[in-house]
Amino acid sequence: MKMDTLAAAAGITQADFHKFVEYFYRKTGIHFDDGKRYFVDKRLLERIAVTGAADFRGYFVALRFEADGRELQNLINAMTVNETYFFREAYQFDCLVNHLLDEVAGRKPKGSRIRIWSVPSSTGEEPYSIAIYLLERWARIADYEVEILSSDIDSKVLQSARNGIYSPRSVAQLPRHYLNKYFTPCANGDWRISRDLVESVEFSLVNLTDANATRRFRDIDVIFCRNLLIYFDDLSRRVAAESMYDALSPGGFICLGHSESMSRISSLYKVRSFPDAMVHQKPLEHRK
């Protein structure tokens, strides 16, 4: 059967679609416009089939009244776009080890803590890329207690990040000598990342548009928030920008994806231009 026929069979009207989109937006900050109807219907139909609901209405009532939030998590896992790979937009990792960390370290005595937060992590390629860059390219790593935290709203990708097994496509941009040094080949052609790297990153389930969930992230020196704001509307972007502002130490930095910017959503940050990349910074003398 064609998708629109299937959606009609499950009773998803245009009004239902809008009700669902509004509900999902409130829960996640992710905004689907009418152009995403096919994408949303397809995933909703899968969830309706898996849960055994009679139709969309039955599914939606059960979803809103469930006590444990389990189906909401399954739905979030189905609706998120998790595309990522090692050394994606690597010029920002260059900027991290060539400029940002030296500036952060310059404000702290040796032996103190430096905290980096990669959010969203997706399946872990970004935080692990940061860990490899630090080990390979930041000469002062032994002088500081570096912590790498990483979060996502999708529990399935976090499990995958903790498992640390990657397809050849995912590691295609990694220089071969790093692949040989930090990974072991699996029989099926995948690559398993070293236990040391897995243990160097602390993964957690977090919705970046939920101020209660982000409250425990404080004193962060550098945030990588790449390829997430594109899924938000301006209001969610503003909430995320403020949560990250509160999470950062004064003088802390944010690296966004190449098509993302704070300019329309927040005047809290300064823009800093480095030879490798342009980043946003919480002013040293912060105000709010």
User: What are the residues binding ligand SAM (CB under 6 A)?
Assistant: 28-30, 80-84, 88, 120, 122, 126, 152-154, 157, 206-209, 226-228, 231, 257
What CA–CA distance (Å, rounded) separates 246 from 174?
A: 33
The three-class DSSP label of residue 53 is coil
What CA–CA distance (Å, rounded) separates 175 from 198?
A: 19
Q: How far is the CB of 45 from ligand SAM (least distance, A)?
A: 20
Q: How far is the CB of 22 from ligand SAM (least distance, A)?
A: 16
What CA–CA distance (Å, rounded) separates 98 from 185?
A: 31
Q: Where do runs of H (alpha helix) occur along the chain?
A: 3-9, 14-28, 37-51, 56-65, 70-79, 91-95, 101-106, 125-137, 155-163, 176-182, 195-199, 211-214, 234-247
Q: Which amino acid is at 267?
A: S
Question: Count of alpha carbons within 13 Å of 175, Cβ hemisphere only?
Answer: 7
The nearer residue to ligand SAM, 221 or 260, going by C-beta atoms, is 260
The nearer residue to ligand SAM, 12 or 153, going by C-beta atoms, is 153
Q: How far is the CB of 5 from ligand SAM (least distance, A)?
A: 30
Annotated active-site residue 43? The verdict is yes
The nearer residue to ligand SAM, 88 or 282, going by C-beta atoms, is 88
**Full strand arrangement of the beta sheet holding 183-185:** 165-166, 191-193, 183-185
Q: How far is the CB of 247 from ligand SAM (least distance, A)?
A: 13
Place of tokens 């370290």: 105
Task: Determine which one of 152, 154, 226, 237 is catalytic.
Answer: 152
What CA–CA distance (Å, rounded) separates 189 from 135?
A: 26
The nearer residue to ligand SAM, 5 or 259, going by C-beta atoms, is 259
Q: How far is the CB of 164 from ligand SAM (least distance, A)?
A: 16
Q: How far is the CB of 127 from ligand SAM (least distance, A)?
A: 9
- Distance (Å) of CA 246 to CA 30, 113, 170, 187: 21, 18, 33, 45
Our CA angle for 37, 38, 43, nearest 5°, is 100
Our CA angle for 72, 240, 130, nearest 5°, is 95
The nearer residue to ligand SAM, 54 or 81, going by C-beta atoms, is 81
The nearer residue to ligand SAM, 11 or 257, going by C-beta atoms, is 257
Annotated active-site residue 41? The verdict is no
Active site members: 43, 152
